[in-house]
Amino acid sequence: MTGQQGRGSVEGLPVWDRCAVMGVVNVTPDSFSDGGRCFDAAAAIEHGLDLVAEGADLVDVGGESTRPGATRVDEDEELRRVLPVVRGLAAEGVVVSVDTMRAAVAARAVAAGAVLVNDVSGGLADPAMVPVVAAAGIPFVVMHWRGFSHGTNGRAVYADVVGEVVAELRSRIDAVVGAGIAPERLVVDPGLGFAKRAEHDLRLMSSMSELRCLGRPVLIAASRKRFLGHLLTEDRNTPPPARERDAATAAVSAIAAYRGAWAVRVHEVRATADAVRVARACEGPAGRT
């Protein structure tokens, strides 16, 4: 299925007439992809506003790196990183999502103005997360996740990656809906790079229709990820560094948007903002839903 028929909308969030662009603000000293550029709150807020000026529809603020092998930050440090940035961006009218696996961080970020909780563990890392989100009545990203980043490579074992990811996401949807989060507020995400090898990510990217069969809007977060480094390694000895994967990221954004993604999550917004508009224009009238 191409085009955006049934791309869907999320209760509690604005409705966009094309694939939305989620800009990333990582408030971490060790983010693999932005090198900790945004570690200072004021700089992070400014960066978020720049992303909006470049075409981001929403901004995802995170204070904990989830790159392979990363060690966890403690909760106080995560709060210290995230809250002023969420508050500062929300005060400027930005649609803010908080990227966290901790219920307490989600709750405080929502109180500070975040309108979407993006939990890469899909509510599995912290048993308090789903009840907190259900009580707050706000949208929630359910990402496919098989455990914390240490050991994630050992979990990248699939007989049928698309079938297994879809089945595992379906059971997480059932669990979080059973625990009180309204289905209309859910977004699903295949979790590219999380317990997945490059070939798994590519298979998932070519299986948007299966992901969309879950009946919820799909978020694709391919930006600067290892699978892009892997496929750009042809003709080189080593993969290009994360910051040199933005053209490839924009290409993925165009494809994901054309295949009906609800949103794409990216570090470099300008090219992706163009890409989703090109995808929209190429869908033709059938896609205008």
Active centre residues (catalytic): 225, 265
Distance CA 270, CA 248 (A): 13
Q: How many CB atoms lie within 10 A of CB 71?
A: 10
**Geometric angle at alpha carbon 132, from 127 and 135, rounded to 5°:** 140
Distance CA 98, CA 215 (A): 23
Minimum distance, C-beta of residue 97 to ligand PMM, in the bound complex (Å): 9
Residues in the chain: 289
Minimum distance, C-beta of residue 288 to ligand PMM, in the bound complex (Å): 27
Q: In this complex, which beta carbon is closest to ligand PMM, that of residue 205 or of residue 287? A: 205
* DSSP E strand boundaries for the chain: 20-26, 58-62, 96-99, 116-119, 140-143, 186-189, 219-220, 263-266
Type of residue numbered 195: A
Q: In this complex, which beta carbon is closest to ligand PMM, that of residue 3 or of residue 191? A: 191
* DSSP E strand boundaries for 144-191: 186-189
Instruction: Answer for the pair 125, 152: CB distance below 8 angstroms, yes or no.
Output: no
Q: In this complex, which beta carbon is closest to ligand PMM, that of residue 83 or of residue 256? A: 256
Q: Cβ-closest residue to ligand PMM?
A: 221
Interacting residues with ligand PMM (CB under 6 A): 24, 26, 31-33, 66-67, 99, 118, 120, 141, 143, 189, 191-192, 219, 221, 223, 265
Q: In this complex, which beta carbon is closest to ligand PMM, that of residue 255 or of residue 287? A: 255
Minimum distance, C-beta of residue 284 to ligand PMM, in the bound complex (Å): 29
How many angstroms separate the first and last alpha carbons of the chain? Answer: 14
